Amino acid sequence: MWLDRETGAKCYMLSARALCIIWGNTPEYWGWIPLTDSSFSEAARLLQVWWLEIRGKIDSKMLSQNSTYAAYIVFKTSVHLGESKSTCHVCLDVDDRDEDGEIPQNVVLPRERADGWMELEMGEFRNDEGEYGEVSIRLLETSAIVKGGLIVQGIEARPKKQRALSL
């Protein structure tokens, strides 16, 4: 947990170990790797699944009351070939481009963070419950496409930045 420098609101990150990762304890699908570039000691590494589901819960008292938050999955991607391994940052391919070839406004793409990890905004919520609520966060992808190479550090909740209005 830490405080946002701009707003003073509480921020919180659930480590990969604190998440419910479907098939996460099945070595054929997921593995655990040590981290040297994080405050957490390990991350979850997706080997291969068809059903990708990651869930997390944060007690609302861990966050600032009357604040709007965004939830982010914090990740890297990796490519393995034999004994060699490389980690790269990729932008998810978007098939639903408009007639001009542009990405629609409602599509959110990952961005690189200052710490070298990638993040993808999963959604936003308002913490009006204070001491008596629970925030549930879920990432789900169940298409028949095999998924792999994802390294999950965790899910972060931090205050949603207000966009400046243009006049």
- Summarize pLDDT for 43-79 with one digit per residue, the tens: 999 999 999 999 999 999 999 988 999 999 999 987 5
- Please give the pLDDT value at position 8: 85
Distance between CA atoms of 87 and 117, rounded to whole angstroms? 10
Q: 2-94+102-159 architecture in CATH? A: Sandwich (2.60)
- Please give the pLDDT value at position 88: 40
- Please give the pLDDT value at position 93: 47
- Please give the pLDDT value at position 129: 63
- Please give the chain's pLDDT, 167 residues, in tens: 888 888 888 999 999 999 999 999 999 999 999 998 788 999 999 999 999 999 999 999 999 988 999 999 999 987 544 454 444 433 444 555 566 767 666 677 889 999 999 999 999 998 886 667 889 999 999 888 889 999 999 999 999 876 555 55
Residue pair 142/52 in contact (Cβ under 8 Å)? The answer is yes
Residue pair 19/25 in contact (Cβ under 8 Å)? The answer is no
- Please give the pLDDT value at position 20: 97
Closest of 5, 18, 7 to residue 156, by C-alpha:
18
- Please give the pLDDT value at position 91: 40
- Please give the pLDDT value at position 86: 42
